[in-house]
């Protein structure tokens, strides 16, 4: 078994889209560059959703135009979210080489989040997959609420497996399984993974765990033991979910890197540089990093600064 994992940084998108204050394009681009410098090779850069839905992501084209130079960081991918053909066309025109589509495993969440049923949302992606195939653009599929939904409670593992199988069939190279409200535990996450892995090869699954109940690192570890080798996270634990009161951000990238360093599993990420990036963006947002690892390492180096 490989002793390597891929970490997909979602802070600039999944993280910042939940910030109430508008964040300057320059700050977002600096965040992306600092992440690339720390060794992240997959950095979700923007979302090509309508600015009416997510005003924070209205600068998507400017972000794509201002990404770090290919010469300095030749091997970094910058996936972007595309909800439909219109978003896909704009993303492709802006030079995206990888896009992500998103569906939910819960009907109520699908209605609230994207205003349509799960089946309708997947129908909308059919032309996106087709166009992506023609243009050589990779597609990643996201599924939200894979363990629980803020409206329906527990979500059936079979439902997640069904949505995952459909996204695979349409041409997703990987399916990212989102515990959007962070309610999962290793037991419920493993029940879900067992059902999904019957339909989708484990090498094509990624864990996307939010840390609301402090279980995200445990869930990532359980998923690693199960065979997953790809995980989403956000620097400083940025993020949340506007539809689930009290939901916190994604598992912090620093916390995953610390976990995998301890296991002797290669991530390619420089933890010190990442902690520095975490301290910087947390300073911009005027709060302490949402990462226990960053807070511990910053305190140790005397850079605690803000005691929040
Ligand atoms: Zn998320």
Distance 69 CA to ligand 1 centre (A): 27
Distance 107 CA to ligand 1 centre (A): 18
pLDDT in tens, 271-285: 999 999 999 999 999
List the catalytic residue out of 145, 149, 241, 277.
Answer: 241
Distance 185 CA to ligand 1 centre (A): 16
84 within a domain of the structure (yes/no): yes
H or E segment and range at residue 80: strand 80-81
> What is the domain-level CATH number for residue 40?
3.20.20.70
pLDDT in tens, 13-46: 888 887 888 899 999 999 999 999 999 999 999 9
The domain of 170 spans: 6-269
Q: Which residue has the higher pLDDT, 231 or 287?
A: 231
Note the pLDDT of residue 114: 81
Contact 80, 64 (CB under 8 A): yes
Given a cut of 70, is residue 307 above it in pLDDT?
no
Q: Which three-class secondary structure string do you get for the chain? A: CCCECEEEECHHHHHHHHCCCCCCHHHHHHHHHHHHHCCCCEECCEECCCCCCCHHHCCHHHHHHCCCCCCCCCCCECCEECCCHHHHHHHHHCCCCEEEEEEECCHHHHHHHHCCCHHHHHHHHHHHHHHHHHHCCEEEEEEECCCEECCCEECCHHHHHHHHHHHHHHCCCEEEEEECCCCCCHHHHHHHHHHHHCCCCHHHEEEEEECCCCCHHHHHHHHHHHCCCEEEEEHHHCCCCCCCCCCCCECEHHHHHHHHHHHCCECCCCHHHHHHHHHHHHHHCCCCCCCHHHHHHHHHCCCCCCCC
Distance 141 CA to ligand 1 centre (A): 13
289 within a domain of the structure (yes/no): no
Q: Is 5 left (phi over 0), alpha (psi -120 to 50) or beta?
A: beta
Number of domains in the chain: 1
Distance 132 CA to ligand 1 centre (A): 23
241 catalytically annotated: yes
Contact 64, 110 (CB under 8 A): no
* Confidence (pTM): 0.94
pLDDT in tens, 48-81: 988 877 777 889 999 999 999 989 999 999 999 9
How far lies 174's CA from each of 13, 98, 304, in Å? Answer: 18, 11, 38
83 within a domain of the structure (yes/no): yes
Note the pLDDT of residue 306: 52
The overall average pLDDT reported for the chain is: 93
Distance 62 CA to ligand 1 centre (A): 23
287 within a domain of the structure (yes/no): no
Q: What would the DSSP string read from start to end of 130-172?
A: HHHHHHT-EEEEEEE-SSEETTTEE--HHHHHHHHHHHHHHT-
Note the pLDDT of residue 145: 96
Q: What percent of the chain has pLDDT over 90?
A: 83
Distance 126 CA to ligand 1 centre (A): 23
298 within a domain of the structure (yes/no): no
276 within a domain of the structure (yes/no): no
302 within a domain of the structure (yes/no): no
The residues, ordered by sequence, that sit 6+ positions from 251 with a Cβ below 8 Å of its Cβ are 209, 210, 211, 216, 217, 219, 220, 231, 233, 234, 237
Q: What percent of the chain has pLDDT over 70?
A: 95
Contact 102, 83 (CB under 8 A): yes
Least confident of 11-20, 216-225, 231-240, 280-289: 11-20
300 within a domain of the structure (yes/no): no
């Amino acid at each position: 078994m490989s002793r390597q994992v891929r970490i997909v940084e979602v802070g600039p998108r999944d993280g910042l889209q939940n910030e109430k204050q508008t964040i300057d394009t320059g700050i977002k681009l600096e965040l992306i560059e600092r992440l690339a410098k720390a060794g992240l090779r997959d950095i979700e850069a923007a979302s090509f959703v309508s600015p009416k839905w997510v005003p924070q992501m209205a600068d998507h084209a400017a972000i794509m135009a201002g990404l770090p130079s290919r010469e300095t960081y030749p091997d970094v991918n910058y996936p972007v979210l595309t909800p439909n053909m219109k978003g896909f066309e704009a993303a492709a025109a802006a030079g995206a080489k990888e896009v992500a589509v998103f569906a939910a495993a819960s009907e109520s969440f699908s209605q609230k989040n994207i205003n349509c049923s799960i089946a309708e949302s997947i129908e909308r992606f059919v032309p996106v997959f087709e166009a992506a195939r023609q243009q050589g653009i990779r597609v990643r599929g996201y599924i939200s609420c894979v363990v629980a939904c803020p409206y329906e409670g527990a979500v059936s593992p079979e439902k997640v497996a069904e949505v995952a199988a459909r996204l695979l069939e349409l041409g997703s190279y990987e399916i990212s399984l989102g515990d959007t409200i962070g309610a999962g535990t290793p037991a419920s996450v493993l029940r879900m993974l067992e059902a999904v892995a019957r339909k989708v090869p484990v090498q094509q699954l990624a864990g996307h765990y939010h840390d609301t109940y402090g279980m995200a690192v445990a869930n990532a570890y359980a998923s690693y033991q199960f065979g997953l080798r790809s995980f989403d996270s956000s620097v400083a634990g940025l993020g949340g979910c506007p539809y689930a009161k009290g939901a916190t951000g994604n598992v912090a990238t620093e916390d995953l890197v610390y976990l995998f360093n301890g296991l002797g599993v290669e991530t390619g990420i420089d933890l010190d540089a990442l902690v520095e990036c975490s301290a910087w963006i947390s300073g911009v947002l005027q709060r302490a990093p949402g990462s226990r690892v960053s807070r511990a390492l910053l305190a140790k180096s005397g850079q605690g600064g803000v005691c929040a």
